[in-house]
Chain A
């Protein structure tokens, strides 16, 4: 701002700027231009060097992926093309042969999940099954389920602990697995700026992993700590990749996007039980169609002492907890 360069008093303009180029200033001006040119070249080179890591990304992200449309706007053929590309990329990046399907919600079905707190013993087999089924990053022990060891006589999570590492169940404790509650009014869906997450007709809240921009607003909005972010590219040995994959569920997620529990929709939309339920050694988990009055989950809702987590928030979870003692 302040300008110590010798001024040419004749020019109305202050010195130091190019407009002050009176003829007698020519040599000075040329030298300045050269220095400036040099500076600019160095600057551009420095910028290129600084941003060089970005060029390595082109290997990770193809142009097709970059230009891919939102899931809901893809035609059947386009989905097939995308799935073929993803299958190929999984082979290239993970060395695994996988089958990616895109099952749609079943007509008239609305999924509900109930969990029996009287018999859950806190073994975390459900979290492990989730980890394996959903192709989670191995090193981080990622899972959509967190199991809390709670003090009997208290519903306060502040007295809970997820890092317990002793034989379970402890006599003065009960165990509370928490995963996505598939809210009727999901705040995560409301806050997403790009509609990358939405609630499907069967009640499952899904994420389009190829549309999410990774702002993590949904993670801030979720009161159940149900959402997970891919802080880096998930690492899974080829032999451990679950090849039965769903486009909206357990296919290996890209880096930098959100993911969440989908009630294993690649299984449940084909009539199968979720992986966490099958893994439960105590039978604490009950899954079914809330619209079917004869379903197991409806029996629980009508005959047990049922509650939902943080009911006061008014989000109407479709995940229920119950006691039978």
Chain B
């Protein structure tokens, strides 16, 4: 090598120049690539079009009990809760699922330490009640839930809790949001176990059990 360089000193220079230019090329590119992205143009304060509505699916209608009987036209005969409960005295002692009988037998109930009358309104069984005793209609159940689940409600109001459909951009279309009880069974709010869908397939599908 030394022999070569003695004979052609220019070679060393050429090598140096090539190396230096490659380095600077790389540096220039790295700069270009990692420079902070130019700030996205902020939309000027033009009058925004009237946003489309966000609809929250209503809670269930006031429930009615299926008596198991049919009317002459074949329609099932249902009864309001108050049909029975107006003639009985509320028994605050009955508070767990296995204590219940008649129409409520077998109810899957697991909602913290709440009792039936924490939510159901003993004064009017066709409604629910808030902690301060005010009645609340079944479709407005979210107000009731929010009393305890404040953080969930806060996230819900910020759009980071609860499923939805429609548009992220309300300027372009409406959105429909789930109500608490669309997903959570009020008597058993914890999600049930579900069977996963669409198992992934690999070319050589190896169910790795590790």
Contact = CB atoms under 8 A, between A and B. Distances in A.
Our verdict on whether A and B bind, yes or no, reads yes
A159 B165 CA distance: 34
A5 B178 CA distance: 90
Best-buried of B151, B163, B171, B195 by chain A (most CB within 10 Å): B163
B77 to A, nearest CB: 34
A190 B33 contact: yes
A165 B194 contact: no
Given A271-B167, A273-B167, A282-B163, A131 B196 contact: no
Interface in A249-300: 268, 270-273, 277-278, 280-283, 286-289, 291, 295-296, 299-300
A162 B208 CA distance: 8
Given A107-B41, A201-B40, A324-B151, A283 B164 contact: yes
A141 B37 contact: no
B155 to A, nearest CB: 7
Contacts of B197: 123-125, 127-128
A253 B169 CA distance: 28
Interface SS of B by simple majority? loop
A29 B134 CA distance: 114
A123 B81 CA distance: 36
Interface residues of A, number: 59
Contacts of A119: 161
Nearest to B205: A163
Nearest to A131: B198
Contacts of A231: 203
A143 interface: yes
Q: Is the interface of A mostly helix, strand, loop or mixed?
A: loop
Contacts of A288: 159, 168
Contacts of B191: 121, 169, 282
A219 to B, nearest CB: 13
B75 interface: no
A150 interface: no
Contacts of A140: 201
B26 to A, nearest CB: 13
8 contacts: A108-B42, A124-B199, A128-B198, A159-B210, A270-B172, A271-B167, A278-B165, A299-B159
Given A190-B33, A271-B172, 20 more contacts: A109-B40, A116-B161, A127-B197, A127-B198, A141-B199, A141-B201, A146-B200, A163-B200, A163-B207, A167-B195, A168-B194, A184-B37, A201-B40, A271-B173, A281-B163, A283-B162, A283-B178, A286-B159, A296-B159, A300-B160
